Amino acid sequence: MSQIPEVFQQGWKPPVQSQERLPGHQKLINPRPIDDITADGKPYKASGKLEGKSAIITGADSGIGRAVATLFALEGADLTLTYTPHEEEDARDVEKAIHEKTKNTRKVILLSFDLRDEKNCQSLIREHLKAHGNKLDTLVLNHADQMMNTDIVSLPTEQWNEVFQTNINSFFYITKAAVPHIPRGGTICFTTSVNAFKGNPKFLDYSATKGAIVAFAKSLSSQIVGEKGIRVNAVAPGPIWTPLIPPSMTDDAKEKFGQSVPMGRPGQPVECATCYVFLASTDSSYISGQVLHPNGGNIVV
C-alpha cells in the first residue's frame, strides 16, 4: 500500500522561502511541487484520454502548467509549451521529464515568447501548426503575473496595465489567432482563480483579471460552442503550491498560505491538472462555459 505523501495531509505547511524574480523557478522551490503523483501516493494512471491530440499549454515551465503538460503527455497528446525567456532551464527540465515518463513517444516543442505582444501570440499559433501538422485540438492558457499590493492608492498604474496585458489581453490575442484552426470537438481552457469569485485585497489587479477571464470564457463559449463546436471552460484553483508563491507574497502571507481552506493545506499542481485533462477529453463532452474549482473545499458561487 502506498504511503500518503505529507503534502497531501491536512495541516501541511510549506516552509517559508523567497525568490527574487517572478514567476519563480521550479528548480529552487522546496519541496518541489507534485506533477503526477496522486493524493493516495500512487503514480497518475493514464488511459489514453488525449491520444492523437495536439495541444498548446502556456506557462508550462513550472507549477500548474508543468503538471498539465505532464498529464497531457501521459494521456497521449503532443505538445507546444511556452515559457518566458529567463525560465528556459525549467522548461528544458519539463521537456526532459516528459520524454522520460513517456519513453520519447510524445512530441514536445518549447517556445519562448513575450505574450503581451499580439504579434508574438500570432507567431505562437503559426509555430505550433507548423510543428504539429496544422493540428490544434486543445488550447490551455495558463500563464499569469501576480504582485502583492494592499492599497489602491499606491498601486502603480504601470503594474495594473502590465498585469492586464499579461493575464487577459494576451488570452484574447492567442484565442483570436487559434480559433480558426481548432476543429469541431476541440477545446479551450483558461486558468482563472478562486480570487475571481472571492476577491483578494492583496491582489487587486490580479483578481480583476481573473474575473475578466471567467467572463471571457463564458461569453466565448456562448459565441462559439454552437456555431463552431468548440467547448470553452475554465479552472479556478485555490491556494496551490507553485514557484509563483515565494516571490509574490510577504513572509506573513507565506506562513498562512493554504491554511484557511477547509482541507487545511495548499493543493498540489497535479490536483488541478486532472481538471484540465477532464475538460480537454470527451469525458466532458456536454460541458461548456463552466468553471471547475480545485480549491481545497471553499464554496464559491
Q: Where are the alpha helices (DSSP H) in 118-203?
A: 118-131, 157-164, 170-178, 195-198
Residue 229 has pLDDT above 70, yes or no: yes
146-200 per-position pLDDT tens digit: 999 999 999 999 999 999 999 999 999 999 999 999 999 999 999 999 999 999 9
Tell me if residue 173 is catalytic: no
Q: Where are the domains positioned within the chain?
A: 6-292
Alpha-carbon torsion (161, 155, 191, 95), positive or negative:
positive
Task: Locate all alpha helices (DSSP H) within the chain, ordered by sequence.
Answer: 63-74, 88-102, 118-131, 157-164, 170-178, 195-198, 204-224, 245-248, 251-256, 269-280
Q: How many Cβ atoms sit within 10 Å of the Cβ of residue 112?
A: 15
- Quote the mean pLDDT of the chain: 96
* Cell 507565506, residue located: 254
pLDDT for 33: 95
Question: pLDDT class for 2, splitting at 50, 70, 90?
Answer: low
Mean pLDDT value of segment 239-263:
93
pLDDT at 1 > cutoff 80:
no
DSSP 112: E
Please say whether the beta carbons of 278 and 284 come within 8 A.
yes
In percent, how much of the chain has pLDDT > 70? 99
On the question of pLDDT at 47 being above 60, the answer is yes
Give the mean model confidence (pLDDT) for residues 240-267. 93
Q: Which sign, positive or negative, has the C-alpha torsion 218, 222, 226, 229? A: negative
Q: Determine which one of 44, 83, 206, 276 is catalytic.
A: 206
CB atoms within 10 A of CB 214: 17
User: Assign residue 272 a region: left if phi > 0, alpha if psi is -120 to 50, beta otherwise?
Assistant: alpha
Q: What is the pTM of this model?
A: 0.97
Span 86-118, pLDDT tens digits: 899 999 999 999 999 999 999 999 999 999 999
Determine the CATH number of domain 6-292.
Answer: 3.40.50.720
Which residues make beta-bridge pairs with 240? 267
Q: Cα(124)–Cα(82) distance, rounded to whole angstroms?
A: 8
Q: What is the percentage of the chain residues whose pLDDT exceeds 90?
A: 92
pLDDT value of residue 214:
98
Type of residue numbered 114 = D
Mean pLDDT of the region 257-285: 97
What span, in angstroms and rounded, lies between the C-alpha atoms of 141 and 190?
A: 5
Which cell goes with 161?
Answer: 496595465
Residue 24 clears pLDDT 90, i.e. is over it: no
**Can you tell me the distance from the alpha carbon of 129 to that of 131, in angstroms, rounded to the nearest whole number?**
5
Query: 231 forms bridges with which residues in the sheet?
Result: 187
